[in-house]
Amino acid sequence: MSRKYLAETPILDFRSDAIQALVAERGWSSLDPHARIGAAYDFVRNEILFGYNSDDALPASQVLADGYGQCNTKGTLLMALLRALDIPCRFHGFFIDKGLQRGVVPELVYPIAPRNIIHSWVEVLIDGTWINLEGFILDQGVLRALQEAFSHRTSLCAYGAGTDCLQAPRVEWTGDSTYIQKTGINHDFGVFDSPDDFYADHHQLSGLRGLVYRLVIRHWMNRRVARIRAGQVPTIPGGQNSLEPAQMPFELKEGV
């Protein structure tokens, strides 16, 4: 197995004091590999709340300090924790359709949001097989609120969720792949050794639009996420059709 899947990078700064202190405090290093993955995964899923940071390419230590994140930033922290625990992992980059973010993105700015939004999940190597980990993105509070608000639905592609099994999504770590935004994917960039490699070529929301996002829009989105977590799920204009993916789910292979 190549050591590149265990390497520290500027983004995966797992030797930082904060990450090393967390690992030591939780005693994760004493666990077997399966349990180490589960401990790091559960921490990122529920103790790092779903929310929007200032940038996708933040170091893992900054995501930990923020205490919240979305697919890309929570994935960065999960990768750093896994590598700190000597678990090989890699980055898989995608685009998702912006419809998946509807209900979180304010309707006032939704029409001018990019059609395709950078997305990623983490792939972890265990027992010789690569496992896809995406189900850590929504914390349990947000997921429960969506399940209650849409108890009559099995599929949902909005409010940060993209799943065909809303009431029982594969989000718990059991040794198999987990998903919560998969049905929103519309382009596959492939796998990368680290997020650093991906973000060297792929950027989003630069210039003035990026500044407005960082200073205003993301805080607006985070307030909306907090209200969703509290059970106040906003209505999306356009009815039930607005809750479905804009196209058929993108076909992906597992464990390759």
123-169 pLDDT tens trace = 999 999 999 999 999 999 999 999 999 999 999 999 999 999 999 99
Give 196's DSSP letter: H
The reply to whether 85 falls in a domain is yes
Q: Which residues pair with 217 in a beta bridge?
A: none
Task: Give the pair of three-digit tokens for residue 108.
Answer: 């006032």
**Per-residue pLDDT band at 244 (split at 50, 70, 90):** low
Average pLDDT value for residue range 192-198:
97
Helices and strands, counts by H and E, the chain:
8, 8
CATH number at residue 172: 3.10.620.30
Average pLDDT value for residue range 240-252:
57
The reply to whether 153 falls in a domain is yes
Phi-psi domain of 175 (left: phi exceeds 0; alpha: psi -120 through 50; beta: other): left
Looking at residue 58, what is its pLDDT?
A: 97
Model pTM above 0.85: yes
Enclosing domain of residue 94 = 3-243
The reply to whether 254 falls in a domain is no
Task: Provide the domain count of the chain.
Answer: 1
